[in-house]
Amino acid sequence: MRTIFHLDLDAFFVSVERILDPRLNGKPVIVGADPGGRGVVSACSYEARRYGLHSAMPIRMAYKLCPNGIYLKGHYDEYIRYSNGVKDMLTKYAPLIKQASIDEFSMDFTGCEKIYGHLMSFASFIQKEIKEKLSLPCSIGIGSNKMIAKIASDCLKPRGITFVIHGLEKEFLAPMPVEVIPGVGKVMHSELNNRGFYLIKDILNYPEEYFYHTFGKSGQDLWDKANGRGSDVIHMGDYQQKSISKEHTYGKDELSRDTMKSTLFYLTSKVGQHLRDDNLQASTISIKLRYSDFKTLTRAKTVKPTDDDKIIFNTAWQLLDKAFTRRVTFRLIGISLSNLSDYAEQESLFEDEEAKRAKMLKAITKIRDQFGFHIIQVGTLQKND
């Protein structure tokens, strides 16, 4: 049996905002879009959750429920900085550590009792150190595998520690709703409820074969998880962002291609800058178009790895322009870059136009880092005739 820790930073974005501005302490804080717009909530404080708010909720609905809340756009660079600070701290103690997301970490402390004593007490030590040195609250789950530890970390939020004793995984999960199981999305949740499965203990009353024949391999995986089985292997390595994306939701529905093109140009500048800040290149460029009737289209194209705004924009605009075929107003457009890889500088005896442009983009990045993103824009945007 292994001993896995899952550490989750409580309301992380809000916690960082409160470090930056202590006047936010104790108040309902919402990080996300402008409440007068049509974006969504990225994160919210526990004070705001008492009003029924949650992440991914439409920002206008959040404002109706909590009009006295404090709405912020957020400081993503600061979130990255504090996340790195937590990882640096944890790396001092954990023999094996994997960053699962910007605010979640899995660690293997198997056999470390001889070094740190009882691991429940050691979890409390880690929790206090992160709070004292970085002013960040966190919750920790401890279990025999990553799934159990992750579910446990949610049990006593905020600032909780939950230790699931080895051998009692099924008893721990039994009274919980089925949607707690990782991988149970809206469709699976609805299917399970329709068949009378509301709690995990309901699943335990049926044999594995029933779920395999009903749901296929995903049903077998569901049954295994309901029985407390999960991976206990933590793969070393840095947390790698899988994609970089940016969206814009318009304050009112639009129909103009010029407006669409101008917005895409700006979004491309943002994601391109993000690539260069992280010394990355992207191979897949995707666009999203959502009409006013909420019909949503996505398109993607794979190109040679690049961090060049011009290539990204031209590719994205071709996709978006072809996708926009209905004479219906649109409410949102977005761009996403994936298949990310480390920047690889090409060597050449002669400096071609591509190499010159790469140098120019590096210079622009330095200027923006010093004076801000809006100080300089790349290229020009030609309007449609």
End-of-domain residue from the set 201, 226, 251: 226
**Domain holding 104: CATH number?**
3.30.70.270
Q: Are residues 248 and 367 in the same domain?
A: yes
* Unique residue bearing structure tokens 């779920």: 211
Among candidate residues 35, 54, 76, the one where a domain is terminated: 76
| Residues 296 and 213 grouped into a single domain | no
For residue 318, the model assigns a pLDDT of 95
Q: Give residue-wise pLDDT tens across range 78-97.
A: 998 999 999 999 999 999 99
| Catalytically annotated residue among 17, 47, 104, 169 | 104
CATH code where residue 36 lies: 3.40.1170.60
On whether residue 237 sits in a domain, the answer given is no
Considering the domain architecture, whether residues 210 and 263 belong to the same structural domain is answered as: no
Residues 302, 367, single domain; the answer is yes
What is the per-residue pLDDT for 317? Answer: 95
The percent of residues in the chain predicted with pLDDT above 70, rounded, is 87
Mean pLDDT of the chain: 87
Tell whether 44 and 152 lie within a shared domain. no
Residue 312 CA to residue 287 CA, distance in Å, equals 11
How many structural domains does the chain have? 4
Specify whether 210 is located in the same domain as 314.
Answer: no
Any domain includes 68: yes
> Would residue 382 count as lying in a domain?
no
Residue 111 Ramachandran class (φ > 0 left, ψ -120 to 50 alpha, else beta): left
Cis, bond preceding 158 (omega within 30 deg of 0)? yes
Examine the pLDDT at 52 and tell me if it is beyond 80.
yes
Distance, first Cα to last Cα, the chain: 68
Residue 223 confidence (pLDDT): 94
Instruction: Give a yes or no: residue 124 inside a domain.
Output: yes
366 shares a domain with 313: yes
Residues 259 and 358 in one domain: yes
Measure Cα distances from 321 to 258, 260, 318 in Å: 11, 9, 5
DSSP-derived letter for residue 346 is: P
| pLDDT tens column, 211-265 | 999 988 889 999 999 999 988 777 665 556 678 888 888 888 999 999 999 999 9
Residue with tokens 């979130």: 79
Q: Is 254 a catalytic residue?
A: no
Is 331:290 a contact under the CB 8 Å cutoff? yes
Q: Does residue 117 share a domain with residue 37?
A: no
CB 119 within 8 A of CB 142: yes
Query: For 174-216, how does the pLDDT look when each residue is reduced to its tens digit (9 = 90+)?
Result: 999 999 998 898 889 999 999 999 999 999 999 999 999 998 8
Q: Do 311 and 346 sit in the same domain of this protein? A: yes
Tokens 């937590």 correspond to 86
pLDDT tens digits for 160-177? 999 999 999 999 999 999
Query: Looking at the domain assignment, is residue 383 inside a domain?
Result: no
Lowest mean pLDDT among 211-215, 277-281, 306-310: 277-281
* 350 and 313 assigned to the same domain: yes
Could you tell me if residue 104 is inside a domain?
Answer: yes
Contact 67, 85 (CB under 8 A): no
Rounded to whole angstroms, the Cα distance separating 5 from 12 reads: 18
pLDDT confidence tier of residue 351, bands split at 50, 70 and 90: very low
380 domain residue, yes or no = no
Q: Are residues 68 and 41 in the same domain?
A: yes
Q: Is residue 232 part of a domain?
A: no
CATH number where 183 lies:
1.10.150.20
Residue ranges making up the domain that contains 38: 13-76
- CATH assignment at residue 318: 3.30.1490.100
Answer with the residue of higher pLDDT: 65 or 360: 65
Last residue of a domain, one of 133, 149, 169: 169
If you average pLDDT over residues 297-320, what whole number do you get? 93
